[in-house]
Amino acid sequence: MALSGFVDFFQKGKTFKPKKKFEPGTLRYSLHTQAQASLSSGINLRAAVLLPPGEDLNDWIAVHVVDFFNRINLIYGTISDYCSEASCPTMSGGPKFEYLWADGNKYKKPTKLPAPQYISLLMEWAEGQINNESLFPVSTDIPFPKTFVSQCKKILTRLFRVFVHVYIHHFDRLVAIGAEAHVNTCYKHFYYFIRQFDLIGDRELEPLQEMTAHICKDPPIDYTSSPSRSNHR
């Protein structure tokens, strides 16, 4: 599938929550546009996630966290009518994996919830994190907090669970609407990014381990020559 078609797919369609956008003229908008251009050009997805020379790693992570939030938001929106408390009484990824919700506020202890309720709370929580200017500063004059990367790891780990649920419980719906190739490309982009910057632990990735091995077969990149692990702000 052409990556340009993938980008087109994620610029339209039903979203589960409102999309988060970058303000034109800002550094993040520029990085976002640069990342989108790489995808549209058909570049190897492994190469597309590499930190551009001279750019700040935290800015690059921030842009991708927002982009992945938007895309996963759209992916779930395409199947949300088929994910109900009756069909999905637990937030699971098959019989071996079940996720409990805790947010430190209303749900102080890990709580079993139906999948649609869990995902709704997850998206609201992630949106709140992204809109928190003390965590995602809107100006380059304001430094990222020391907790930025660890909090992004938490956001991405939780967003990954939406992939798990959709792939394992609703893949037939993706096939029915012709979206499986688009979702696979989004997943590969997400997977290469979180692996490149070590943002999700191996244990969390286990539910989709076999599928990942099957679809993530792009030619490898020489990471030793990449500046991707430097340039922290």
Binding-site positions for Zn(2+) read 83, 88, 165, 170
Distances in Å between the alpha carbon of 39 and those of 27, 43, 139, 188, 226? 19, 6, 26, 12, 18
| Residues annotated in a binding site | 83, 88, 165, 170
Task: Count Cβ atoms below 10 Å from residue 126 Cβ, excluding itself.
Answer: 24
Task: Quote the CA–CA distance of 122 and 105 in Å, as a whole number.
Answer: 13
| All residues at 6 or more sequence positions from 82 whose CB lies less than 8 Å from its CB, including other chains | 170, 173
Contact 89, 114 (CB under 8 A): yes
Instruction: Please compute, for residue 177, the number of CA atoms within 13 A of its CA located in the half-sphere on the CB side.
Output: 18
Q: Distance between terminal CA atoms of the chain?
A: 36
Q: What angle do CA 102, 156, 180 make, to 5 degrees?
A: 110
Strands, E, within 104-150: which ranges? none
